[in-house]
Structure formats: C-alpha cells, structure tokens
Structure 1
C-alpha cells in the first residue's frame, strides 16, 4: 500500500445528501461514467474524470438509486416520487416512466438491456419489459407473497435471467426470473443496507449490521467471506481487479474506511463533513468514489500520487 497521503477531488453540484453512486462498466475506449443519486431529486452523470456531463431532470422527489446500462447508453432511476424512469444518457431525456405505489429504493437494468428491475418500500420486486413498456410488470414472489418482508434495499441484475435482491428483513435472495419463487436464500441476520455487484467480477458485496459479506453472484454454493467491522457500514465496495482491499462508508462518522480482505483497517480517509452514505470502486480499480450527507462526491486514488485522470496535473 502507498504511504502517500490521498488527496480527494471534490465533485460538487448536488444540494442535498448523496445516497447512491454507480459506475458504468469499462468502455471500449478505456473510459467509464459515474452516476450519482441524491435527495435533491436530480441524478447527475459524470465522466471518468469526475467532470459533470449532465443532470437528469424529471423526478419530483429524492432519487435513491441510479444504474447505467452495460454500454452506458441508458440510465435507470428510482425515486421517492413513486416512479422509476429510464433515460437516454446522450440526450438526457427520459424514455419511459413506470408508476409504483410507494417509494422506489433500488433499480437495475439487465445486461441486454431489455428489462428493468425495481424494488422499494412496497416490499415488492417488479420486472418491466422495456420492449413492451406499456405491459404490466412481472412480480417476483416468495410462496405467493412479496419478495421480502421489509423494504427492498437493493436489486442486482446478475445476468439477463438471474436477479439478486436484498431487504431490510436481512435476506438476500437469488431468482431465476423464468421460474416461480427464489432459487436460493441467504439470511444475514441483520437488515441489509447495501448490495452491489463488483465490476468485472461475479462478486456481490453486501453490508448488514456490522458485517461486510462477499458472496458469489453466480454460484450460490461457491466460496463466500464475511468480515466483522467495529462500526456499521452503510455501503462497501471491493477492488474490481485485485480483490485485495475494500472501502466502506458509515452513517456514524464522516470518514471513508479502507480495509484489507480480512477486514483489518488500513486507512481512514477524512474529507467529508457528514456521514458517508455510499462508496464505489471504478471499473479499472484506479479510484473510488464516496457520497455524503454533506452533498458532495469525493474521488480517491487507489494509488495516491499516480498520474491518472485529473490527478495528472495535481
């Protein structure tokens, strides 16, 4: 690990707490995009350098989740205005709006991308066919009941047919959307606060209670690792290429915590002025982003001092 002090770049523009961050996959030209979700209701799109590209205007409430398609041409958002929307990232215009009966906390686009997956405070998981946007959604149900017994905090489209969902009921469930009911269930014993698919690796990083759990996304019976921290993480993200470290944020302090794979704390990164709601590694592993109650996004180098992006001139 480098001993050079990490100096973050600050990406401003939001006016309220930043609650979710998501990077696109690495594109053919070696670049990627970053989308941020915020309680100000205006999700923002940024280049890999952190520079602002545009803002998706149209929601009337806090935006809790934003995801990009594999090729970055589409974005999906979930909001407190009881809608999920799909956007054209080139024009910034929304293509479809899907009504719900309560707050939409999480969204995902399948890799194709022809399906939108949503979850939220209704405890339901819906799947919308984007080739037939006017058709009724398909609901994922567990023995005829809702997908979860608590708010659905995260949905992840592992593949075009496999979806993982996580809820405040402490359960993570894997679903083959072609068959009824979940195909596998994991009880983490505490409300799940976040779940993300590691870029380029079939690993789900899940936070629940004081734990960070690393689960095989495709092979449920595959090896998994769970580490205990001395704080409750709000979000965690693993290095996508090396898997030799992970970062975590917490709503109990304004710091970004860097850990080794066994959970040992390597560094505490200070810069935010409020609790950290979300963290995420970029797809090439050269940096990670954090979003905070203070309304800012901060970009941190994995190897401080390396010439990369906007740090090339720092």
Structure 2
C-alpha cells in the first residue's frame, strides 16, 4: 500500500474523522488549525481558522453541512462546512449533532479520559444506566461500528476492547506491547485496526522500530493480529476506516496524516484460525 501523505499541520495530529459519505476527511492537531481534505486524492479542500489552542476533536453532521470542533481554548465551535464560517447555532449536545463515537440512539458513551465506560439516558435525566470498568488505565479513544451495535475502546493499558453498545458487555480484547491511542472497526470485514506506540515523551530516545509505530490489524472474532503497516515516525494518535471499507487513514505524533488504500490482496485474504 503506497499511502497518500497529507501535510497540513505544524504539530501532532489529535484526531481524524471521515464524513458519512467518506468523500471528505477532517483533521485536527495540537495546533489551532482544522483541515478538510478530499479523501480520494489527498487534496486540501479548505481550512477552518478561529481556534487559539490545540484542537482535540472534530466531527461532521449527518449531511456534512456543519463541522463541530472542540479545543483547548475552552471553546466548542460549529462551522459551516462549505464556507468555513462560524455557525449561529448553539451546540446543545454532540450526541444530537452526530452519529459518531460520542452518541447514538438516544444514548451517549462518556470519553473523559477515565478507565471506565458509562451509558447515559438522554435527554430525560442524564442518569447513568450502566458503568463498566474493563481497562486498568485511561481510555484514549472510543469508536462505533458502522451499524452502531458495537464499539471499540483504546487504552493506555496496551489493549483495545470490544463492547456491546446496548449492554456494555465486554466481548473481545486485542493486546499489544505499547499504549493504544486509537482503534477503529472495519465496516465490511471482521477487522480492527489499532494505532499507538511508545509514549510521545519517550520517542526521541527510541528508534522507530522499537517504538512500534505501526498500524496493527486484528481479527475481530479470533483476537489475533494478522498484519502491520509501517510509515509514521512517532506514535499513531488516531485511526479511521473509510465508510466503504476500502481504505483507512492514520494521524501521528509526527504531524502527518496517511491515507492507505488497500491492495487487492487485502480483499482476497482469508484468515486461518
């Protein structure tokens, strides 16, 4: 797989996110820049300027009319996707805004850098319905499956875990030797991609080989690793599958975003248990 390299940030990538159709890829970083790219060729479509601190998260609404960002400048901004202008609406809840990793079907999964995952009842009372603690260290990322029946978590405890979205029942565990910063579920296959690596503060003292900065692919049912993709020169902070499952992207501590279109062999691959 020869990747398409996107270089539009001056600092480490914090999150990447496809819109629902998959034609656009939004990227944010520890700089105040929000970029949007054509996913098919990596051409930069535009930049949303206005934040004054690192931007931690980004998401587009169902029909890609608006883009929501959250920043270290203590603001949450709603942008017009086409013009880049700030919206005049008030943002009431991310779960009502997007069917992304933070909310679905009237429920919301907390992502507060804790070690547990909670299911909340919205909007009636906000009471906690279920709380599970399956990780021993902080959770770095939560992403839903395409049909929203499952979600995967990524943790500093060197694991990613699969949960049932309704009951929060723990289903599977994917183990590595380094902290996992992000994990995503394929929309077409029983595959999970994990991104992570050595702690960013220790990167300068370790070679890229020892740092284990590859994207790692696991089988969803068998919990076994079957492939790795190298390329980043630091930990991978965010991974995302394209909605059609034919490619995936990764954003790293090195400031690069890499779009990987799968080779034909990927679609012919059959896992041997």
TM-score calculated relative to the size of structure 1: 0.72
CA RMSD in angstroms, aligned pairs only: 2.4
Structure-1 separation of matches of 2:75 and 2:49: 13
Taking the TM superposition and a 5 Å limit, the aligned residue runs for 1:274-289 are 274-289=234-249
1:298 aligned onto 2:258: yes
Q: Of 110, 115, 118, which residue of structure 2 is paired with 1:170?
A: 115
SS at match of 2:84: coil
2:178–2:197: 8 Å Cα contact kept in structure 1?
no
**Cα distance in 2 between the residues matched to 1:44 and 1:305:** 32
Q: SS of the residue aligned with 1:110?
A: helix
1:23 maps to 2:14 = no
Aligned match of 1:110 = 96
Q: Which residue of structure 2 aligns with residue 203 of structure 1?
A: 150
Matches within 5 A, 1:61-210: 61-96=53-88, 108-110=94-96, 156-159=102-105, 161-177=106-122, 178-188=124-134, 189-208=136-155, 209-210=157-158
Could you tell me how far apart the structure 2 residues matched to 1:32 and 1:248 are? Answer: 22
Give yes or no for contact 1:9–1:300 (8 Å, CA) kept in 2.
yes
TM superposition shift of 1:229: 2.4
Moved over 4 A (4+): 96-99
- Shift of the 41–304 alpha-carbon distance from structure 1 to 2, 3 Å rule, reads farther
Which residue of the other structure, out of 258, 272, 275, is the alignment partner of 2:217?
Answer: 258
**Secondary structure at 1:167's aligned position in 2?**
coil
- SS of alignment partner, residue 128 of structure 2: coil
Residue 271 of structure 2: aligned partner: none
Corresponding residue of 2:233: 273
1:10 aligns with 2:2: no
Aligned partners of 1:279, 1:182: CA distance in 2, in Å?
Answer: 29
Number of paired residues?
247
Match of 2:269 in 1: none
Aligned residue among 172, 192, 208 for 1:225: 172
Partner Cα distance (1:21, 1:93) in 2: 20
Q: Secondary structure at the match of 2:109?
A: strand
Between the aligned partners of 2:20 and 2:261, the Cα distance in structure 1 is 18
Partners of 1:68 and 1:109 within 8 A in 2: no
Mapped partners of 2:256, 2:250: distance in 1? 8
Matches of 1:73 and 1:206 in 2, distance apart? 28
Task: Give structure 2 stretches of 5+ with no counterpart.
Answer: 199-210, 267-273
Checking the alignment, whether the CA contact within 8 Å between 2:194 and 2:215 is kept in structure 1 is yes
Q: Distance in 2 between matches of 1:257 and 1:94?
A: 37
Question: In structure 2, how many angstroms separate the alpha carbons of the residues matched to 1:303 and 1:111?
Answer: 35
CA-CA distance at 1:170 after TM superposition = 0.6
Q: Which runs of 5+ in 1 are unaligned?
A: 1-5, 100-106, 114-153, 307-314
Q: Distance in 2 between matches of 1:198 and 1:85?
A: 26
Distance in 2, Cα, partners of 1:12 & 1:279: 16
Deviations 1:60-103 (A, max 9, x none): 0000000111111111100010111111101111115879xxxx
Contact kept? 1:67, 1:109, Cα under 8 Å? no
TM-score when normalising by structure 2: 0.82
